[in-house]
Every structure is written in structure tokens, then in C-alpha cells.
Amino acid sequence: MLSCLADGAELTSAEIARAVFVRPQSMSDVLDGMERRGLVRRVGVRARGRRNPAAITPAGQAVLDAVQKVALATNDLSSLGLDASRSAQLAALMLAVIEGAEAAPELDDGS
């Protein structure tokens, strides 16, 4: 989530939620916790119906810098025989599955 804000972008919780594939309702609590820890700051007025974007703080950037190499290495599948191109293909396919699952109607399990 911090990487969404790393380029200086100021994004709302809904915009961040879309970028990281979670529900907007979930993102508000996450942002509140990150704000309490000093990793992000709200740059707008906190009022219902008002745009209240978040921005990364220097502390948040330091945390992101510390973990980014590990996070990127997690997506490196070369040890499993996939080069960068195939890894990107797999990631795109996995995202398509997630998006399809989110868009699919819930199945009635009969209970």
C-alpha cells in the first residue's frame, strides 16, 4: 500500500483500495492504523463526503525502502523456471482470476 503513495501521489482510501485489490471499507481502518504509526498522513479535511487523500511520510518511505527489496524478490520466480516475462504473465493471469472471482455472483451453498 505504501508503494501506491511512494511517488508523491495523494490518494483517497478508495483509490488505494482499488490499487491493492481490497474493499474500500477495509482500507479506512488500515490507513487509520498507518496514520497512528506515522507512516502516512491525511492531507484533506476529515469530513463525510469530503475528499481526504493520504500521503506517505518520511517514516513511511523509510519502511517502504527497507521492505521493497524483499517484496520484489517474492515475485521473482526464476528459481521455479519462470523468466521475468512468464512471471509477469502469471501475475496478470492471477489478477484476472481475482477480478473474475470478485465480479462473480455468490454461489448459494444450500444452507
For the cut 60, the answer to whether the pLDDT of residue 101 exceeds it is yes
* For residue 33, pLDDT beyond 90: yes
CATH number belonging to the domain at 2-73, selected among 1.10.10.10, 3.40.50.720, 2.60.40.10, 2.60.40.60: 1.10.10.10
Instruction: Report whether 61 contacts 41 (CB < 8 A).
Output: no
The contacts of residue 85 (CB under 8 Å, 6+ apart) are none
pLDDT of residue 109: 62
- What was the pLDDT predicted at 47? 62
**CA-wise closest residue to 2 among 82, 75, 66, 86:** 66
Mean pLDDT within 21-48: 86
69 vs 49, higher pLDDT: 69
Q: Average per-residue pLDDT in the chain?
A: 85
Highest mean pLDDT among 9-18, 41-50, 58-67, 79-88 belongs to 58-67
Over 60: is that where the pLDDT of 58 sits?
Answer: yes
